[in-house]
Amino acid sequence: MPVKTMICVPIFQPNLKSARLTADKALKLGADILELRIDALQDPDIQEVINFIDSLDGRVIATNRTAREGGLFKGSEEERTEILSDVAGHARYVDIELQTGEKLRSRVIKKSGSSIVSFHDFEKTPSVDELLEIVRQEKELGDLAKFAVMPRNLEDTLTVFQVLLQVEDTIGISMGNLGGYTRVTAGLFGSPITYASLDGGSAPGQLDLKTTRLFLDKFTDVDR
Q: What CA–CA distances, in Å, run from 167 to 109, 117, 148, 164? A: 21, 15, 15, 5
In order along its 224 residues, the chain shows pLDDT tens digits of 445 889 999 999 999 999 999 999 999 999 999 999 999 999 899 999 999 999 999 899 999 999 889 899 999 999 999 999 999 999 999 999 999 999 999 999 999 989 999 999 999 999 999 999 999 999 999 999 999 999 999 999 999 999 999 999 999 999 998 998 888 888 888 899 999 888 654 455 567 888 888 888 776 554 44
pTM above 0.85, yes or no: yes
Is 164 within 8 Å of 186 (Cβ atoms)? yes
Catalytic status, residue 120: yes
SS (H, E, C) 49-101: HHHHHHHCCCCEEEECCEHHHCCCECCCHHHHHHHHHHHCCCCCEEEEECCCC
Catalytic entry in 74, 90, 111, 146 = 146
Count CA within 13 A, CB hemisphere, residue 8: 27
pLDDT (0 to 100) of residue 205 = 58
**What is the pLDDT at residue 214?**
83
- The strand pair at 93-97 and 170-174 is best described as unpaired
Q: Which of 4, 120, 124, 210 is catalytic?
A: 120
Active site residue 124: no
The pLDDT assigned to 199 comes to 63
- Taking the C-alpha atoms of residue 184 and residue 8, their distance in angstroms, rounded to an integer, is 12
CB 86 within 8 A of CB 50: yes
Cβ atoms of 88 and 64 closer than 8 Å: no
Going by C-alpha positions, the residue among 193, 186, 168 that lies closest to residue 33 is: 193
Distances (CA, A) of 155 to 150, 158, 205, 222: 11, 5, 17, 24
Can you tell me the distance from the alpha carbon of 52 to that of 132, in angstroms, rounded to the nearest whole number?
A: 36
Q: What domains are defined for the chain?
A: 2-117+179-218 (3.20.20.70)
